[in-house]
Amino acid sequence: MQNETLIAGFGGQGVLFAGKVLAHTALEIGLEVTWFPSYGPEMRGGTANCTVIFSDEEIGSPQVFNPTSIIVMNQPSLDKYEDTVRKDGYLVVDTSMTNREVKRKDIHAICLPATEIAESIGDKRLTNIVLLGALIQGSHFFGQAELESALKKSLEGKKAELIASNIIALQRGFEYNA
C-alpha cells in the first residue's frame, strides 16, 4: 500500500503544517514516509504545496505526478490539480475559497466550507486541520485517534495552547464528512 497526498494553497494557509501532521501520523503507525515542501519565494501569499507519501514499503521517489489524494485550499490549486488526482482518488476542496464545483466524476470529491467552519471555531488558520480531518474521515487512511495524537505532538512546547482548538477543528472535519 502506498498513498501519495498533495496539499496545495497559498503560503500562510498552513499547507506545510498539515503535511507535517499527516507525515507524523504515518510515522507513528510505523509506515515509511516522505514529506516534500514546495513554495514560492514570497511564502505568505505566494503558492505553497507539499507532498506526503506513506507506504508499508520503501519509497522510491518523493516525486508525485498522480496523487492518491489532494487537498486544495484555493481556486488556483483546484484549477491546477483537479486533473492530476488518480482515478478513484480523493479530492478535498475548501468551498469557501473556490468558485466552482469539482468537474470529475471518477474521483471521490469531498467539498466543505472549511474556512467558514474554522472561522466558526474562532480562527481561520484552523482551515488546514478541518480539511485534513475531512480527508482522513473520507479516505480511512488512518483513524481519528492516530491523527489526533500526531497533531498533539506537532503542537507540543511553544504551541501547546493551540492544541485544544486544533482538536476541535479536526473533529469538525471528521463530522462534516461523516
Q: How many CA atoms lie within 13 A of 164 on its CB side?
A: 3
Q: What is the pLDDT of residues 84-132, one digit of tens each?
A: 999 999 999 999 999 999 999 999 999 999 999 999 999 999 999 999 9
Highest mean pLDDT among 8-17, 41-50, 61-70, 119-128: 119-128
Prediction pTM value: 0.93
Q: Work out the mean pLDDT of the chain and round it to a whole number.
A: 92
41-80 burial string, b = 16+ CB within 10 Å, else e?
A: eeeeeebbbbbbbbbeeeeeeeebeebbbbbbbbeebbee
- Residue type for 66, please? N
Where do the domains of the chain lie? Answer: 2-176
Q: What is the pLDDT of residues 43-58, one digit of tens each?
A: 556 678 999 999 999 9
Q: What is the CATH number of domain 2-176?
A: 3.40.920.10
* CA pair distance 178, 176, nearest whole angstrom: 6
Q: Are the C-beta atoms of 116 and 99 separated by less than 8 Å?
A: no
Torsion angle, alpha carbons of 8, 34, 164, 111, to 10: 30
Give the three-class secondary structure for 108.
strand
